[in-house]
Amino acid sequence: MTEDKLPTRKENFSEWYNQLVVKSELADYAPVRGCMVVRPYGWTLWENMTGGLDRRFKETGHTNAAFPMLIPLSFFEKEKEHVEGFSPQLAVVTHGGGEKLEEPLVVRPTSETIIGYMYARWIKSYRDLPVLINQWGSVLRWEIRTKLFIRTAEFYWQEGHTAHSTEQEAREETLRMLDVYADFAINDAAIPVIKGEKSETEKFAGAVQSTSIEAMMQDTRALQSGTSHFFGQNFAKAFEIQYLDPSNTLQYCWTTSWGLSSRMVGAVIMTHGDDQGLILPPKIAPLQVVIVPIYKNDTEKSSVLESTNSVFKDLKDSGIRVKLDDREEVTPGFKYNYWELRGVPVRIEIGPKDVEQQSVTVARRDVPGKSGKSSFTKAEVAAKMHPFLLEIQDALLARATAFRDEHIHEPASYDDLKNIVQDGWAFAYWCGSTTCETKVKEETKATTRCIPLEGQPKVAGKCVVCGNKAEKKVYFARAY
RNA sequence: CGGGGCGUGGCGCAGUCCGGCUAGCGCGCUUGCAUGGGGUGCAAGAGGUCGGAGGUUCAAAUCCUCUCGCCCCGACCA
C-alpha cells in the first residue's frame, strides 16, 4: 500500500484518477487484461448505490430474476443491428468438459437475446403483460483500452427488461426508468445529470430509441451514466415474443431495456474528488464518519478513549456508518490523510482539549483545512450529525452543478464550438444529420451526447455546423 | 502489422556498456523504544532461482542465441 501524494487533477487528470482508484483501495488490476478486482471498500460503495437503485426499481413495480451468463451464439444473429453492434466485443466459449462444443456459447455482453427467448415462451396472453423484470449481474465486452470502473471488459450492472402490450406503455416505461436513474444520480450520488435522447449513431445496437443521463466530469468530459432503450418490436419479431390480445388476435410485444453500471462509481470519483483524494456523498459513502483520538500519554489516552468510545456508540446507535480509528502505530496526521484519501465525509477529532471542554472537533471532507472545522458539544454530536451529513450532501450537488453550468456554453458559430469543446460542452442547434455529427467528431473529437428532453427552445434555429434549419438543440462534448 | 522501449524483493529503481567477494538503494512490511492537534523519529529484522531456456567462461544480472510478457508511437478498428 503506497501512501504517496497523488498527482493533482490539473497536472494530469487521467493519472490522478488511475492512482486514486488503486490507492483508496476501491479496486485493483486483475491478472487478466481488461478485468478489475473490486475491493471491499469499492464494493461497499457499489452496494450502497445498488441498494438505492433496487429500492426504486421495486417501488416502480419491478422484480429481480437471474438469467444465464452463457448464451448460444445463434441468438445474437437473430437481430441484425444487434449482432453488428456487438460481434466485435464478444468473448466466445468453444470448449467445455474437454470437448469442442457443437454450438459456441457467448459470454453475455448484455441479455436482450436470451431474455427475449424466454419471454417468448412465457408470454401467451395480454393478461401476462406487462413483464417487468430486472437482473443484477456482470457482463463481458472485449476491450483493449481499459480504465478501472469506466471501461473494463467485465463490469457489474443491472439490466431491466420489460415487455408491454402497447407502444405507448413501452415508451412510458423507458422514460420512467430514465427518471429513476436521474433521481438516483442527483439525490444519492449528488451528480447532476441531463436526460436526453441519443442520436442515430450513438444509440444502442438494435434500439429504436435510446435515452441516457449524461454527467460532466471535472475534466469537462461527458460520461454516459445510465441508459434506457425503447426497442419497438425489433426484438419481439426476432424472438417471436407474441401475445393474444382481447380480440384473440396475435400481436407482437413492445419491449424495453435499461441499465446502469459500476461505471457510476467512476462518475462519483471524477465528479467530487479533489487533489487529496475521494470525496464521497454521505448517502452512499461506506463510512460517513471517522473518529480520530489524539493523546500524548497514558493519562490522556484513557480519558480520550473514553470519550471516543462514547461518541462512537452514540453515532452508531443513531444509524450513522462510523469508524473509530484507534490504531496506535500511526499518528493523527497520518490518519487525516489516510481517511481524506478515502473520501470519508466527516472526521471527528477528539483530544485532551476536547475532553476538557466536553466537545469534539468536526472536520468536513468537502471543505479542506481550518475553514471546514467546527466544534460540536459531545452531547449533541449524534443529534446534529444527520442534518450535517445532509448539508454536505447538498453542498456536493450544488458544487457539481455550478461546475457543470460554468462549463456549458452556447456557441455563436462553428469556430466557437470548436473552442468550447476543448474545455466544456457546447449546447447548440443541430439539424440531425449524421454528416454534421461526423464532421464535428472528426474535427474536434467531440460527439453528440444527447438531445435533452427538457429545456428545448420553442422556435427553430440554424444548425451550428451546416446552417440548415434545426428544430432541436444537442450537447456536443468529448466523452469517456 | 511497422518502429522504439522495458522486464532485478510487494512497489519504484541502480548495477549491464567494460563479467569477479555475501546483488544494492528508496518506499512499503515485521519487532522494539520513543513520539502523537496535519503524511513522526531511531534501531533491529524478514523478503530476490536478476522474465524463461540454452550457450560462452575458472566465474554471468552483466557477453551470445532463441523465447515469453508488458508499455509507448504509428497503422487498423469503433
**Residues A178 and A226: beta-carbon distance below 8 Å:** yes
Provide the pLDDT confidence category of residue A3 given band limits of 50, 70 and 90. very low
Domain boundaries, chain A: 13-272, 289-391, 408-477
Identify the helix (H) or strand (E) that includes residue A299: helix A298-317
Residue with cell 466459449: A93
How far apart are alpha carbons A44 and A38 in whole angstroms? 9
| H/E segment holding residue A43 | helix A40-59
Give the CA A325 to C1' B43 distance in Å. Answer: 27
CA of A29 to C1' of B49 (A): 27
pLDDT of A36: 86
For chain A, percent of residues with pLDDT exceeding 70: 99
CB-strand contact A214/B, under 7 Å: no
A304: left (phi over 0), alpha (psi -120 to 50) or beta: alpha
The CA distance from A79 to A40, in Å, is 39
3-state secondary structure of A399: helix
Say yes or no to pLDDT of A475 above 70.
Answer: yes
State percent of chain A over pLDDT 90. Answer: 84
CA of A400: how far to CAs of A4, A8, A140, A332, in Å? Answer: 27, 18, 31, 30
pLDDT number for residue A175: 97
- Chain A 161-200, CB < 7 Å to strand B: none
Strand B lies under 7 A from the Cβ of residue A363? yes
- ipTM, interface predicted TM-score of the complex: 0.82
Cβ of A99 < 7 Å from strand B? no
pLDDT digits (tens, 9 = 90+) for A219-237: 999 999 999 999 999 999 9
Per mean pLDDT, which range of A7-11, A272-276, A376-380 is the poorest? Answer: A7-11
Scan residues 257-276 of chain A and list those with Cβ within 7 Å of strand B. 276
More confident residue, A33 or A57: A57
**What pLDDT sits at residue A4?**
63
- A35 CA – B68 C1', rounded, Å: 21
Residue A91 has pLDDT above 50, yes or no: yes
Sequence-distant (≥ 6) Cβ neighbours of residue A102 within 8 angstroms: none
CA of A330 to C1' of B61 (A): 38
> Distance (Å, rounded) from C-alpha A467 to C-alpha A239?
43
Closest CA to A462 of A409, A408, A413: A413
Judge whether residue A411 contacts strand B, using its CB and a 7 Å cut-off. no
Q: Rounded to an integer, what distance in angstroms lies between the CA atom of residue A13 and that of residue A97?
A: 46
Q: Nucleotides of chain B within 7 Å of a protein C-beta?
A: 10-11, 27-29, 34-40, 70-71, 77-78
Those residues whose C-beta lies under 8 Å from the C-beta of residue A153, and which sit 6 or more positions away, are A32, A33, A34, A35, A91, A140, A141, A142, A143, A146
pLDDT confidence bin for A476, thresholds 50/70/90: very high
Rounded to whole angstroms, the Cα distance separating A138 from A180 reads 21
**Rounded CA gap, A220 and A244, in Å?**
50
Q: Is the pLDDT of residue A117 over 60?
A: yes
Kindly state the cell numbers that stand for A216. 460532466
Distance A333 CA to B66 C1' (A): 54
Q: What is the pLDDT of residue A157?
A: 96
C-alpha span between A433 and A471 (Å, rounded): 12
DSSP secondary structure letter of residue A277: B
Q: How many CB atoms lie within 10 A of CB A445?
A: 13
A379 C-beta neighbours (distance < 10 Å), count: 11
CATH for A289-391, options being 3.40.50.2000, 3.40.50.800, 3.40.50.300, 1.10.287.3510: 3.40.50.800
- pLDDT digits 0-9 by tens, A312-326: 999 999 999 999 999
Q: Give the tens place of pLDDT for each residue, A325-372.
A: 999 989 999 999 999 999 999 999 999 999 999 999 999 999 998 999
Q: How confident is the model over A409-435, as a mean pLDDT?
A: 95
The 8-class DSSP code of residue A377 comes to E
A61 touches strand B (CB under 7 A): no
Instruction: Decide: helix, strand or coil at residue A84.
Output: helix
A19 pLDDT tier (thresholds 50, 70, 90): confident
Q: Is the CB of A29 under 7 A from strand B?
A: no
| pLDDT tens digit sequence for A156-207 | 999 999 999 999 999 999 999 999 999 999 999 999 999 999 999 999 999 9
Q: From the Cβ of A349, is strand B under 7 Å away?
A: yes
Mean pLDDT, all residues of chain A: 94
Computed on alpha carbons and rounded to an integer, the radius of gyration of chain A in Å comes to 25
State the alpha helices, DSSP H only, in A325-463. Answer: 332-341, 352-357, 381-406, 414-420, 434-444
Query: What is the CATH T-level fold of the domain A13-272, as seen in this structure?
Result: BirA Bifunctional Protein; domain 2 (3.30.930)
Q: Is the CB of A442 under 7 A from strand B?
A: no
Cell numbers placing A385: 450529525
Q: What integer pLDDT is reported at residue A97 of this predicted model? A: 84
CATH number belonging to the domain at A408-477, selected among 3.30.1050.10, 3.30.110.30, 3.40.50.970, 1.10.3720.10: 3.30.110.30
- The pLDDT, as a whole number, for residue A94 is 87
Measured in angstroms, what separates residue A145's CA from nucleotide B27's C1'? 29
Q: Alpha-carbon distance A181 to A193, whole Å?
A: 9
Average pLDDT estimate for A430-443? 92
